[in-house]
Structure 1
Amino acid sequence: MIDKNQIHYPARNLWSGFLFGVGFVAFFDETVFHQLLHWHHFYDKSTTNAGLVSDGFFHAFSWFATVGGLFLFADLRRRNALWLKRWFGGLLLGAGLFQLYDGIIQHKLMRLHQIRYVENVLLYDLIWNISAVLLITIGAFIVIRTRKGDSYEH
């Protein structure tokens, strides 16, 4: 018999994975493209110092999302209600949606920064946005497949 509180668990699994996915891909972007490769800062329309400060805020955001997702994950584990497939679908959705938002809204519409400052950025844009759409597609497929069913995979 399913506990009446478990009706919220599918949504909690989805949101936990989603938050972790947003935080993880933002953390990966910050670490690889901002810090290691020095391709851009979160905000490139000002001085290098302003770019570094904006990176710090971006980094804090990514950690808040990651830690929030992990707190929800731990609560689901404690309640014996972790549905790992649904959680993973949420992770892919969160990662893909954040990356697509970054690629379209921040890179192109707001022009906060580009992926890389090269003469022909189109290849970088295509790889960035196509990989985001792939993450979203796979994540949505998993979430839809786990929408029905009342068994949790622990």
Structure 2
Amino acid sequence: MAESITNRTQSVYSARNVWSGILVGIGLMAFFDEAVFHQLLHWHHFYDKSTTEIGLVSDGFFHAFSWFATVGGLFMYADLRRRQALYKTRWWGGILTGVGGFQVYDGIIQHKLMRIHQIRYVESLYIYDLVWNITGLIITLIGVFLLVRTKRNRKAGTHG
């Protein structure tokens, strides 16, 4: 009986490590996107289908979202550390999955399907889209690889 409770608890903490990392990864990538592409380079706003003022307001909401995700993930991280249930490799796998997943979502859903903004407003977007989406896919695959590897290690009785 005690072993099944331990396995169930370990499974819950394993999932919390992943979700904490994913939230931090989404928050970090959203913050990077907003700070670099929106504020420093002025390539676009979060929402570019209206006035510049609306674009700036949308950037503010986007920025708030990125910080809520980051802070939420870090609270989960602190709780995992306090419980001595932090599996750093698994957490980093979650971060990379969150970073890359956000980037691919942004590049495909927001840029191409919803068309709420583009990476940059130039004649040929092709190279920007390729670099953005391929980089996001590579980061996601590395994160998923770490998550799969640490799940196997957990089943084998080691922590990753």
TM-score normalised by the shorter chain: which range applies? over 0.9
The 5 A counterparts of 1:49-64 are 49-64=53-68
5+ residue gaps, structure 2, are none
List, as ranges, runs of 4+ consecutive aligned residues in structure 1 with deviation greater than 3 Å. 150-153
TM-score, scaled to structure 1:
0.95
TM-score, scaled to structure 2:
0.92
Q: CA deviation at 1:152?
A: 3.4
Name the CA distance, whole Å, in 2 between partners of 1:133 and 1:100. 6
Whichever structure has more helix as a proportion of its residues is 2
**Residues 1:151 and 2:151 are matched in the alignment:** no
Question: When the two structures are aligned, how many residues end up with a matched partner?
Answer: 153
Name the CA distance, whole Å, in 2 between partners of 1:71 and 1:134. 28
Contact 2:48 2:117 in 1 (8 A): yes
5+ residue gaps, structure 1, are none
- Where does residue 21 of structure 1 map in the other structure? 25
Contact 2:150 2:159 in 1 (8 A): no
The share of aligned pairs that are identical, in percent, is 65
**Residues 1:115 and 2:119 are matched in the alignment:** yes
The 5 A counterparts of 1:135-150 are 135-148=139-152, 149=154, 150=157
Aligned-residue RMSD, C-alpha: 1.4
Q: CA deviation at 1:146?
A: 0.4
Contact 1:81 1:152 in 2 (8 A): no
The 5 A counterparts of 1:72-87 are 72-87=76-91
Name the CA distance, whole Å, in 2 between partners of 1:151 and 1:73. 20
SS in 2 for 1:146: helix
